[in-house]
Amino acid sequence: MTNNKKLKQFPITSICRADLEGAGFDASGVDDGTMKQIASKMAEAYLEIIFWIDMPLVAEYYEVPRKKLK
């Protein structure tokens, strides 16, 4: 597999004001800059904690084979 293929990125998620509303917040006055800050902080939290727990489980669900040990 080429490095370009290995490093091709796919988006995972996003956040919108409706997400904040769904969690009980009044997002009517939240500007785009604040939304970008919230999204950035959520991405950091997700990558630091949940991503590395969920990714292997989801890959197994889709039957991605594990590498064979040499």
Note the pTM of the prediction, 2 decimals. 0.72
> What single string gives the DSSP state of each residue in 14-70?
---HHHHHHTT---TT--HHHHHHHHHHHHHHIIIIIHHHHHHHHHHHTTPPPPPP-
In a domain, 70, yes or no: no
In a domain, 41, yes or no: yes
In a domain, 6, yes or no: no
In a domain, 67, yes or no: no
Q: Domain range spanning residue 25?
A: 12-61
In a domain, 4, yes or no: no
The two tokens of residue 4 are 């370009």
Total number of domains constituting the chain:
1
Tens-place pLDDT, residues 8-44: 998 888 999 999 999 999 999 999 999 999 999 999 9
In a domain, 66, yes or no: no
pLDDT of residue 11: 86
